[in-house]
Structure 1
Amino acid sequence: MKKLIFNGQTYPLDPAHSVLDNLLAAGVNIPHSCRTGICQSCILQKISGDVDSEAQHGLREALAMQDYFKTCCAFCDSDIELTSGKRADFLGRAVITEKRLLNNRVCLLEIEPANPIYYHAGQFLNIRRDDGETRSYSIASLPSRAGALEFHIERMKNGTLSNWLFDEAKVGDCLDIQGPYGRSFYRTTPNNMNILLVANDCALAPALGVIRDALDSGFKGQVYLYHGSSNLDGLYFHDQLITMDEAVDNFHYRACLDDSTQVRDDLPTGYYQGNMAELALSRFAHLQAFKVFLFGEPKMVRNTKEAVIKAGALIENVFIDPFDYRDLRKIKRPTKAA
């Protein structure tokens, strides 16, 4: 039987399962969230042994050089020894400076890092409670404005961290932060291009970050935001976005209520009924001159990516961030032949 040694304790190692799954099966509940290699909240440091090279893909070079790796992506066929590493290597500290309910479903949270961090609009951070509970949240604030970072927290059914942030966390509380991560962020764009953003529910946060950064950078092309939800509470930033639409000549906002159960004749002014991606694509048949950002529900993001490419968007101008927290590694990797 292969061995996994973690912080001095020895556990059995099954090579057909990831290091993370081996630890969880042994009752060792290390911090983790997405289990797909995206959020990087499950990283540990290797003392000895070998793991798949995939397990370090996307890590900062300084962490990879110190033998940190993502345990959810790591498989090994021989004994391995690990440690939690040093918190200061990959975690920072931050304090909650503002907490405001936008409605009964969404909370605006601002946190002030103890040390300044460099990030791009549209990236995300891992927020970790002191007991290790960790979730990834996108940054809605503007990188060029120093100070607190803005997050939009959606209350999830049975969501451990989201419900704690809603009901118990308060201004002055401290949190650990890790990151930033993500590649779907604003890049300098020629003024003869346009920007199309499609986002559902709280995936508005990174879309808003991209919009704020583009406009603050002096982008003169047209910016179109299609924000969708299956209920009005999911369109939680509606009034602010309507005001922004009226004040900024090259920003255009559509609030899309995707309620397939009934056709509504009583929609308030400023709302459109229908699927946000379908409404966007019906308006823009040709997307050669667009940068496209897609944030939110994974199936929507992937299907819309295919559709916008068929409509002419260049693949290098399409940026996606599927909010996927499921374990996608369904098939066990076979062990090597002896």
Structure 2
Amino acid sequence: MPELRVGTQCFSVTVGRNLLDALLQAGIELPHSCRAGSCHACQVRCLAGTPQDARPDALTPAVREQGWRLACQCQVVEDLEVVPFDPKRDGREARVLACDWLTDDVLRLRLEPLQPLRYRAGQHLLLWSAEGIARPYSLASLPGEDPWLEFHLDCRHAGAFCSTARRLQPGDVLRLGQLSAGALHYDADWQARTLWLIGSGTGLAPLYGVLREALRQEHQGPIRLIHLAHDKAAHYLAEPLMQLAEQHAQLRVELITAAELPEALAELRLVARRSQALLCGQPERVEDIARRLYLAGVPRNQVLADLFLPPAC
């Protein structure tokens, strides 16, 4: 059986054993949440040996070259030595610039990294609290234009990180984990296509960055942005989105509620085949919309989606 080493601990595991499960069973404390390769809380660095990785695209090539892997997506197939991500050692410091409530439930967090961070619109980043709580959030900021990293936190439901975030003050320090590649981005090859940006809840955050990137690159085709919220008061970016629509003739913004979703989905039958769609939000909403787009004739490879997965037990 392969041997798995973490620091001074060494133990045998069966071939094909999930790396996260093996570490937890051995008493190694490793943050984890979704178990689907989305939250990136369970990162480990491989010092010796190579695990079998089911999601090699989940981390950027530069991060993978440094040996980082997601433990939940790896299987132990040979002797392996790993070290868990340590935010104090491996993370970057970022200072809180501002915390303000966009609605009763959505907290906008703006951070200033103490070292420059290169990213692209639509990526997401793992945030670590001072208490060692890790949570991934999509970037809503636009690189090269916004002088901060912006995140939109949905605080409707109780959560350890949100509880900490409610107490944050300007000047407080968080730590940043590794950037995640994610599915959402803007490609200059889409210039002439109809661009659909559809988000539910704070799934709007990365789409807001992608939208502004598309406009910065002078996207020529129509852009249709749809934000789905549980009620009208939850359309937390309504004003800036409407201002963008007034400034750019090709942009159409629709703010709909859950009650209006069936009618909005029915209209998706009119989607052009060469449309490019970017979706983000709760899995059931995203899956419904992706299905409608497919039935409307949009090929699956022209529909990109990031899902906000709930924590796994």
Q: TM-score range by the shorter chain?
A: 0.7 to 0.9
SS at match of 1:98: strand
Unmatched segments (≥5 aa) in structure 2: none
**1:156/1:163 contact within 8 Å kept:** no
Write out per-residue CA displacement over residues 294-329 of structure 1, whole angstroms, 9 at most, x where no aligned residue.
11111222232232122122333221111124449x
Q: Which residue of 1 aligns with 2:274?
A: 289
Give 1:135 shift: 1.0
SS at match of 2:270: coil
Q: Which residue of 2 aligns with 1:51?
A: 51
Structure-1-length-normalised TM-score: 0.81
**2:141/2:209 contact within 8 Å kept:** yes
Q: 1:89 to 1:223 in 2, by over 3 A?
A: farther
Q: 1:85 to 1:246 in 2, by over 3 A?
A: closer
Write the distance in 2 (CA, Å) between the matches of 1:304 and 1:85: 36
**2:53/2:75 contact within 8 Å kept:** no
Structure-2-length-normalised TM-score: 0.87
**2:59/2:179 contact within 8 Å kept:** no
Give 1:131 shift: 3.3
Write out per-residue CA displacement over residues 115-155 of structure 1, whole angstroms, 9 at most, x where no aligned residue.
22222211111111233311111111112315101111110
Write the distance in 2 (CA, Å) between the matches of 1:181 and 1:191: 22
Within the alignment, does 1:303 sit opposite 2:302 as a pair? no
Give 1:63 shift: 4.1
Which of 254, 257, 261 does residue 275 from structure 1 map onto? 261
Q: % of aligned pairs identical?
A: 26
Which of 314, 317, 320 does residue 302 from structure 2 map onto? 317
What's the RMSD between the two structures over aligned residues?
A: 2.8
**1:202/1:234 contact within 8 Å kept:** no
What does residue range 162-181 of structure 1 map to in structure 2 within 5 Å? 162-166=162-166, 168-177=167-176, 178-181=178-181
Give 1:49 shift: 4.7
Q: Which residue of 1 aligns with 2:93?
A: 93
One-letter code aligned to 2:304: F
Q: Which residue of 2 aligns with 1:7?
A: 7
Unmatched segments (≥5 aa) in structure 1: 260-273, 329-338
Q: 1:67 to 1:286 in 2, by over 3 A?
A: closer
**1:6/1:81 contact within 8 Å kept:** yes
**2:227/2:254 contact within 8 Å kept:** yes
SS at match of 2:54: helix
Give 1:105 shift: 0.3
One-letter code aligned to 1:41: A
Give 1:85 shift: 6.3
Q: 1:57 to 1:255 in 2, by over 3 A?
A: closer
What does residue range 188-199 of structure 1 map to in structure 2 within 5 Å? 188-189=188-189, 191-199=191-199
Write the distance in 2 (CA, Å) between the matches of 1:38 and 1:180: 8
Q: Which residue of 2 aligns with 1:72?
A: 72
Give 1:99 shift: 0.9
SS at match of 2:215: helix
What does residue range 256-271 of structure 1 map to in structure 2 within 5 Å? 256-259=256-259
Write out per-residue CA displacement over residues 196-251 of structure 1, whole angstroms, 9 at most, x where no aligned residue.
11111100101111111111221232211111122334322223333333343222
**1:33/1:134 contact within 8 Å kept:** no
**1:189/1:219 contact within 8 Å kept:** no
Count of aligned pairs between the two proteins:
312
Write the distance in 2 (CA, Å) between the matches of 1:193 and 1:181: 23
Give 1:55 shift: 6.1
Q: 1:12 to 1:172 in 2, by over 3 A?
A: farther
Q: Which residue of 1 aligns with 2:186?
A: 186
**2:269/2:293 contact within 8 Å kept:** no
Give 1:92 shift: 2.2
Q: Which residue of 2 aligns with 1:270?
A: none
